């Protein structure tokens, strides 16, 4: 039988997303996917940039993305100025 244990990050997201949905009660959720991505993306970018000592090329490599894409996202999230 394959290991069915969830990754700790998945567990945290699932717990908090369920709490969010429960808190909505009868209000129908809207735009959950982009909301979750936006809330996750900024801290991921911030932490990886710190881990890479603010080196965008290294951080982009860690993230598996193009450096220009990383730069654009850092500006969008207000983590650097343009």
The pLDDT value given to residue 70: 98
> ∠ at Cα 7 (35, 11), nearest 5°?
50
How do the domains of the chain map onto residue ranges?
A: 30-82
Give per-residue pLDDT as tens, 8-66.
989 999 999 999 999 999 999 999 999 999 889 999 999 999 999 999 999 999 999 99
What is the model's pTM? 0.77
| Four-way CATH pick for 30-82: 3.30.360.10, 3.90.550.10, 3.30.70.60, 1.10.10.60 | 1.10.10.60
- The sign one gets for the Cα dihedral 4, 9, 17, 77 is negative
Tokens of 34: 């982009």
Please, what is the end-to-end C-alpha distance for the chain in angstroms? 50
> Do the beta carbons of residue 63 and residue 48 sit within 8 Å?
yes
């Amino acid at each position: 039988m394959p290991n069915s244990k969830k990754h700790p990050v998945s567990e945290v997201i699932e717990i908090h997303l369920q709490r969010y949905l429960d808190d909505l009660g009868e209000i129908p959720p809207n735009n959950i996917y982009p909301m979750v991505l936006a809330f996750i993306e900024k801290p991921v970018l911030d932490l990886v940039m710190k881990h890479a000592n603010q080196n965008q090329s290294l951080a982009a490599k860690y993230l598996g993305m193009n450096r220009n894409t990383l730069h654009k996202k850092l500006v969008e999230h207000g983590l650097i100025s343009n």
